[in-house]
Amino acid sequence: MTENEIKLKAIAALTALRSGVGADYVSDLLGEVIPEYFLVPASADAKEVGLSVLHQLSEPLSALITGFVLAFEAVADVYEETEPEVSTEEILQALALDIARDSE
């Protein structure tokens, strides 16, 4: 799967969530970007296996995160153009505070 295809999966997942599609569908959609198998050297020790798997996961996960960021930036830009009373930054700060409170 190409980097752009993975970014599109991220955007599709966000769109599906906002449309009320079930979390299982979204999980399946995002799961499609994770390799079905990993290639590791037959004689690899645990550290080498871990590094090999991490390397093979890093590209699709990076593309997925990039897709989420691109989608957020697009929505935030449009939101900011409406001259809202609350800025995107303030919304994110409030969200971070809520998460921090829930973590205590």
Rounded Cα–Cα distance for residues 80 and 55 (Å): 37
Output the pLDDT for position 104. 82
Tell me the C-alpha to C-alpha distance, in Å, between residue 48 and each of 16, 39, 42, 45, 91: 37, 11, 10, 5, 42
- The pair phi, psi for residue 76, each rounded to 5°, is -65, -40
Output the pLDDT for position 74. 96
Task: Give yes or no for a contact between 62 and 34, defined as CB atoms under 8 angstroms apart.
Answer: no
Residues 10-42: tens digit of each pLDDT: 999 999 999 999 889 989 988 999 999 999 999
Average of per-residue pLDDT values in the chain: 93
Mean pLDDT of 75-97: 95
pTM, rounded to two decimals: 0.81
Tell me the C-alpha to C-alpha distance, in Å, between residue 43 and each of 36, 48, 50, 56: 21, 9, 13, 18
